[in-house]
Amino acid sequence: MPQFQVKVKWSKELFPDVQVNTDEEPLVLKAQIFALTGVEPHRQKIMLKGATIKDDTTWGANVLKGLKDGATLLLMGSKEEDIPTQPVEKTKFVEDMDESEIQSALAMPAGLQNLGNTCYMNATVQCLKTVPEFKTALNKYSESVSFNSDVTTHPQSITASLRDLMNTMDKGQTLPPLVLLQVLHRAFPNFAEKSEHGGYQQQDANECWVEIMNMYFGLVFDTEIKCIESEDEPVTKSQERFLQYNCYIDKDVKFLASGLKNRLQESMNKHSTFLDRDAEYVKTLKVSRLPGYLTVQMVRFQYKQRDAVNAKILKDIKFPLLLDTFELCSEELQQKLVPMRKKFKDYEDKIVLEGDKKKGLGKEASLKKGREESEDMACEPYDFSEDPGSNNSGYYELQAVLTHKGRSSNSGHYVAWVKQKGDTWMECNDDDIRPIHVDDVLKLSGGGDWHTAYLLLYGPRKLPISEEDKTKSEEETAKSAGETADKPMETN
């Protein structure tokens, strides 16, 4: 394939060793230049010996004629922050705003432009962006995006491009996720497959989700495999690790809880060395490690051999805003969860009692109000001290839903629905972002051709630090500081 090593000159800066592959669209080059300079693609004007490289799918005869190793491309364009701002407008009150202005005033999250069947990637990014620990980890990563063909740099490039994209989104700017798309295509060529019309094919959002999440989330299951045809054959015990919890859907599953329990036992046939023949076994699983953030995949696609398509199961499966995973866990893990669960019970009993005394609120209203008030409060650690990133209570709260609308994974549309605060959620439909009520999220459970929950992201329920524990912590900090001050300084 025609590849060239060129230089890019921008103002007083020169970037050597930029790769140009003319089998790819010019937008790929613009994505690389965006990663190097911060000049967004729509602000770039790139020239080569008087010829301009455009955003078209073809390069143009004059550009191809001048392309060679060592050629210098001239870049003209400014980063957005370098552009002079307009004078501050007169303050406008909410009652004088139209709908679009009100949405802007609500600090709406940034949208992501659809680059041609890239809604699966946009929805994945919007859901992952709701995990603050994920963003913190990304910002600690100091490497930059690489566009070379070395496969060992793919994890580096995906991590760096996710970091840069989310930081730009934090500024409230709707933008095209060009850099992430290109490094994703290089790392996983199946995502770059094109249709007979030349555009990108629709991809499965869960495949994208798993590839991006590979190092950040994880469940551990204790497993036992027992032969039901022989009492004398020893039980096989082991551990298995998964990035997400699969909820299998059958005719009896109507609620998420029953689908999750079904995952814990399955029948299987395999060769028995003890009986020297094929035999029936039962495989039993119990969760032995809960992650801080739990991803549940609603297994809605089944491959139909006759039609050669992943057909969708449209069945309505209700999912909760609050999820308790205690019954899914091994006895050992359950014992470890008990202390934090007792703290939650004591806290909830207290706020229910206070709500009844002060405002005459019922149990559910008091708990709801308490959860909303705790969103901005200092909270207890949600993980075990010896296992960072785990969950120490078994309690989770829904914070993002990724939906699919359509009849197969090869078509349709993906959208992210993310919690903002209280009962306010955001529908992130590529670059169209709008606020919705939590009740609208609960309607995404399926049953028709409307948007149907495909991935559920549950974050840890967080317990506010009690005044007693807060005072104790402050006293311990002060005591520690005093002991340090009293300690004589060592000299060499």
Residue 372 carries which side chain, given as an amino acid letter?
E
pLDDT, residue 215, reads 43
Candidate list 42, 413, 428, 451, residue with the active-site label: 413
Please state the pTM of the whole predicted model: 0.76
Decide if pLDDT at 164 tops 80: yes
Q: Which pLDDT tens digit goes with each residue over 349-367?
A: 988 888 777 667 788 888 8
pLDDT, residue 212, reads 64
**Quick check: 75 and 8 in contact, CB under 8 A?**
yes
pLDDT, residue 474, reads 59
CB atoms within 10 A of CB 429: 22
Query: How many separate helices (H) and strands (E) can be counted in the chain?
Result: 13, 19
pLDDT, residue 307, reads 67
The domain 1-78 is placed in CATH, from the list 3.10.20.90, 3.40.50.1370, 3.20.20.80, 3.40.80.10, at 3.10.20.90
Distance of alpha carbon 124 from its chain centroid, rounded? 5
Decide if pLDDT at 377 tops 70: yes
Q: Which residue has the higher pLDDT, 158 or 425?
A: 425
pLDDT, residue 489, reads 46
Q: Which residue has the higher pLDDT, 271 or 147?
A: 271
Q: Which pLDDT tens digit goes with each residue over 462-481?
A: 999 876 666 665 556 556 55
Candidate list 42, 119, 271, 329, residue with the active-site label: 119
Decide if pLDDT at 93 tops 50: no
119: annotated active-site residue: yes
What mean pLDDT is reported for the chain? 82
Report how far residue 443's alpha carbon sits from residue 451's, in angstroms, rounded to the nearest whole number: 9
CB atoms within 10 A of CB 240: 12
pLDDT, residue 276, reads 92
**Of 9-23, 211-225, 232-246, 442-456, the least confident:** 211-225
413: annotated active-site residue: yes
Report how far residue 50's alpha carbon sits from residue 64's, in angstroms, rounded to the nearest whole number: 12
Q: Report the length, in residues, of the chain.
A: 492
Q: Which residue has the higher pLDDT, 431 or 115?
A: 431
Decide if pLDDT at 324 tops 90: yes
Q: Residues of the chain with pLDDT > 90: what percent?
A: 34
Report how far residue 395's alpha carbon sits from residue 76's, in angstroms, rounded to the nearest whole number: 53
